[in-house]
Amino acid sequence: MPDASDKTSENAQPIAGVRLGTVAAGVRKPDRDDLVLVELAAGTRCAAVFTRNAFCAAPVAVARESLAACDGLARYLLINTGNANAGTGARGIADARSCSETVAKASGVDVSTVLPFSTGVIGEHLPVSVITQAIPAARAALSAEGWEAAARGIMTTDTRPKLFSASVTCEGHTFNVTGMAKGSGMLRPDMATMLAYIATDAAVTRPLLQQLLQQAVDASFHRISVDGDTSTNDACVLVATGAAGNPALDSLDSPQAQALAGTVRDVCVSLAQGLVRDGEGASKFVSITVREGGSSQECLDVAFTIAHSPLVKTALFASDPNWGRLLAAIGRAGLPALDVSAMSLRLNGVLIAENGCRAASYTEEQGATAMAAGDIAIDIALARGQAVETVWTSDFSYEYVRINAEYRT
């Protein structure tokens, strides 16, 4: 077990072996930081998960290809905002490779060790010359203290950066973990427009690193939704520099690996919740917990049906305890032989429904008070088993419609 563990903090902890440089390249707007270069020390191991959207962006295809070619020993991550380089065909692939080649030549590394990432408007060709001309400045800006600037540099419609650090000490070794993420709309990661980068100074074998990342993503980014749309550009990267000096972790059976896994998960959960709190136009942060399910999957089916319901989300924005919309969402989640008379529904602790109808103790005043809060907990007990899952979402506001209606104008 860990000797000590810190809660996640928005004060970024530098990670030995990682330097970041952020500049304003002018990809879409002048005088806005929009290009981030992340340098990884030689020997750093890298794991990643990417969007499951079949129409994935060119940088996703190139990053996947390069990560396999370099056997997970990446040296640079190149991230641009303002242009997704998605829906751009063969030219998009060539453009992503061209940007990677510029970094590789300037840094004296193999091009396969440079992973490109993009986010922004879909369907427009990447302004390659604008990006490549800014790479020397990004290299000059590289700093171990560059996390906050980078977290701002990867933002698009985000209103604030998402940046968290945590540390854990176990069996005489202290591991630090720092992560940043962007995303506030087109957010239903299925691995958002979502990008996330997490780094640790622990030494970890690549297979275990991939396992740690997948488990953390499943518990965090796979448990959020702002609008139910999965981006073409989603990517989440976990790197381990090995600077902590521990023997390389290769199995989750060890206490150190368990401690590190929990810390990586905690950072990812904090980042994922930060994405929801900054959802486009969001005024409510909503936790949907479904318990007593027959399986984890049916709990998730119910939770995401609620999270994706426009009627529920607009009621949340209006602070309207329209519990009928919640019951309707539960009923259409596809659970076989659901006994509605056995389940119960609570809103911020207030019993709303039981025995298949409105609870005898419930009043509209109680519901209105519960819905007025900025953080809302929806709790459903299905009375079908022992499984429990939680999903985080936000409301739908007028501002969400405005932001997405005007996104390209």
Average the pLDDT over 228-257 and give the result: 89
Same domain, 39 and 162: yes
Write the CB contacts of 326 (distance below 8 Å, at least 6 apart in sequence): 306, 312, 345, 352, 353, 378
pLDDT tens for each residue of 115-145 = 999 998 889 999 999 999 999 999 999 999 9
- Among 258, 277, 296, the domain boundary falls at 277
- Among 260, 277, 294, the domain boundary falls at 277
Domain that holds residue 316: 285-405
Same domain, 30 and 67: yes
Same domain, 65 and 86: yes
pLDDT tens for each residue of 165-178 = 999 999 999 999 99
Instruction: Report yes or no: 221 and 180 within 8 Å, Cβ to Cβ.
Output: no
pLDDT above 80: residue 303: yes
pLDDT above 90: residue 225: no
Average the pLDDT over 181-207 and give the result: 77
pLDDT confidence of residue 100: 98
pLDDT above 60: residue 62: yes
Give the range among 63-67, 179-183, 255-259 with minimum mean pLDDT.
179-183
Same domain, 48 and 81: yes
pLDDT above 70: residue 405: no
* CATH number, domain with residue 182: 3.60.70.12
Average the pLDDT over 279-305 and give the result: 91
pLDDT above 90: residue 11: no
Average the pLDDT over 86-90 and give the result: 94
* CATH number, domain with residue 289: 3.10.20.340
Same domain, 357 and 268: no
pLDDT above 80: residue 230: no
What are the Cα distances from residue 76, in Å, to 40, 110, 211, 226, 329?
A: 6, 10, 22, 30, 45
Q: In residues, how long is the chain?
A: 409
pLDDT confidence of residue 26: 96
pLDDT confidence of residue 217: 93
Mean per-residue pLDDT over the chain, rounded: 90
What is the rounded CA–CA span in Å between residue 13 and residue 49?
23
Same domain, 302 and 201: no
Three-class SS state of 187 = coil
Q: At what angle do helices 89-107 and 128-140 cross, to 10 degrees?
A: 30
Count the neighbouring beta carbons within 10 Å of the beta carbon of residue 126.
28
Average the pLDDT over 285-303 and give the result: 96
Average the pLDDT over 80-101 and give the result: 96
* Residues assigned a catalytic role: 193
Average the pLDDT over 11-19 and give the result: 95
What is the rounded CA–CA span in Å between residue 282 and residue 30?
27
Instruction: Report yes or no: 48 and 63 within 8 Å, Cβ to Cβ.
Output: yes
φ/ψ of 180, rounded to 5, equals -135, 155
**Angle subtended at Cα 336 by Cα 333 and Cα 337, rounded to the nearest 5 degrees:** 120
Write the CB contacts of 269 (distance below 8 Å, at least 6 apart in sequence): 219, 220
Instruction: Report yes or no: 77 and 199 within 8 Å, Cβ to Cβ.
Output: no
Same domain, 249 and 220: yes
φ/ψ of 42, rounded to 5, equals -55, 135
**What is the C-alpha end-to-end distance of the chain, expressed in Å?**
53
Q: Could you give the number of structural domains in the chain?
A: 2
Same domain, 133 and 188: yes
- Among 248, 277, 306, the domain boundary falls at 277
5: its two tokens: 């563990």
Between 155 and 1, the more confident residue is: 155
Same domain, 217 and 77: yes
Same domain, 354 and 371: yes
Same domain, 272 and 298: no
Same domain, 356 and 250: no
pLDDT above 60: residue 391: yes
Q: pLDDT band for position 229 (50/70/90)? A: low
What does DSSP assign to residue 84? -
pLDDT above 50: residue 1: no
pLDDT above 80: residue 60: yes
Task: Please give the share of the chain, as a percent, with pLDDT higher than 70.
Answer: 90
pTM of this prediction?
Answer: 0.89
